[in-house]
A and B are shown apart, each in its own frame.
Chain A
Amino acid sequence: MRGLTYIAVGTLLAGSLLPEAFTQAPSEAPAAFSPGTMTLVSNGLVDQATFDADRAVFEEQEGRADGLGPVYNAQSCAECHQNPVTGGISQITELRAGHFDGVNFSDHTGGSLINDRAINPAFQERVLGAFEVRTFRTSLNTLGDGFVEAIDSNTLNNIANNQPAAMRGQFIQVPVNESNNAVRGGRFGWKNQHASLKSFSADAYLNEMGITSPLQPNDNTSNGTVVDDGVPNPEDDGEDVDIFAEFMRSTGVPPRDTVLAATADAQAGSGLFSQVGCTTCHVRNITTAPAGTVINQGALTVSAALGNKLIHPFGDFLLHDVGTGDGIVQNGGQSTRNKVRTAPLWGSRSRNRLMHDGETLTRNEAILRHAGEATQVINNYRALSNTQKNQLITFLNSL
């Protein structure tokens, strides 16, 4: 009888404890490139040859015969996502506009995005005078975005729930186009307007390059007027969109400047960054969902290359009002009008125009430009000595 008891207890213990002991700790996500060679390397999702071929498509210049336009901002993905390597950031901004009536924001005629280029001068978009809400938005880094996509929405929601009420980020859910617009936690774009890299790719292909695809089958208008670029829709059969998404999913994370990061100043600055409270929103560590997790509302399964990886984005992928909001509403509703996504600071050493609009040029001024939800944290920064401020900025310059 006693033996049977041992058996029962042993079974329960084994069932409940042993698998936990076997659960692997997350491993570090690989770097996107080696600082020495500056060569992009696959994170293992696809082999290097496939990755290089995907990159070539990401860099490919589109022309009128490919369906470029009628209005557009760039001829290739890499035109805006290139620094210091393909997939990185750039100084290029896009222009958005609309109207605020004191209660609600409404889009500019034809949509809030005002394209800067057109295939015909007759199609050129312009900001119409009475749309007084106007803002520039810098293009964003896409390196490591596959890991960001692989973060469970609940992880982001939990980050928000653990932030102090006065600084709590807003978690929004946005349509995943490839899953019949079922919603998932937004994480891409300054307004967290996308949750999947495929949706993001199709959106950017249409709105930045004017190329339609099955997920975005209709060309943009010119300030609301339908114009024809002469190429039947969809201009891409979906293959390019898939390749763009695969390329981004296959990139590693932006690597740090390891030499600078190892200096005493950067290490002291790293401590100060946490001490003053920056990491409340510029979150240092996030672990992606386990490999095999079905995400994007069933459209994607997290691969072994992306699953259970520790990343250091220095961002929470949530929307906050830090006094810098751009006044534009996209997928998050009116409460997000003056909110923007916490800028993930990984790779920010490659950026010299700061904040969402690129209007701030020094690290100190960028920090001081934070207000609203960030007020207490920034006041902690103000209390630092100049030596400490320089250490903190040295740390930022190592990211």
Chain B
Amino acid sequence: MPLNGRIGFTLVMLSAFAIMVALALDYPPAARFLPLVIGIPGIALTICQLLVDIRELRRPSRARDKLRVHRPDESAVSARVDQLAGDRDQTGSVLAREIVLFAYFFGLVAGVVLFGFWLTLPVFMIVFFGVHERETWRFALSLAMAGTAVLYIVFDRMLSIVLHEGFITVAVREFFTQ
């Protein structure tokens, strides 16, 4: 039985509950009371959900088996198999797009943590518009500059909010100022 994403995510939820309940066992009685009261039913419910997911996963394969057993029309079987293959291709392309978008988002977060907001934001916007959206570099650059300028004016100038400067940026600045 293939481990599809739906079952995979239910397993993630089940693992999260199981780990949290296991960790709670080491806490003093008063501290573990509610985590156990909430976590144990959580494990039971996600197991129920897992069973529902497995049952649903077996449904299409049963339908395909039925189709093959009755052999009403060979072309219908091959059309169904093609459709399943098409679904897999589509799932593959969706997964690829999801990975790319998460990579951009994680890149933004990592960039802000390491290089700070004011260096990362324009670079992120230029790369996203230029590479992902395939806009012209001039358009990407002007949108990134305008966006960063608005954020800088609002947060730095108007509100005087000090944003995270980034560990590498601070380290480099300290290196050169020493």
- Determine if chain A interacts with chain B: no
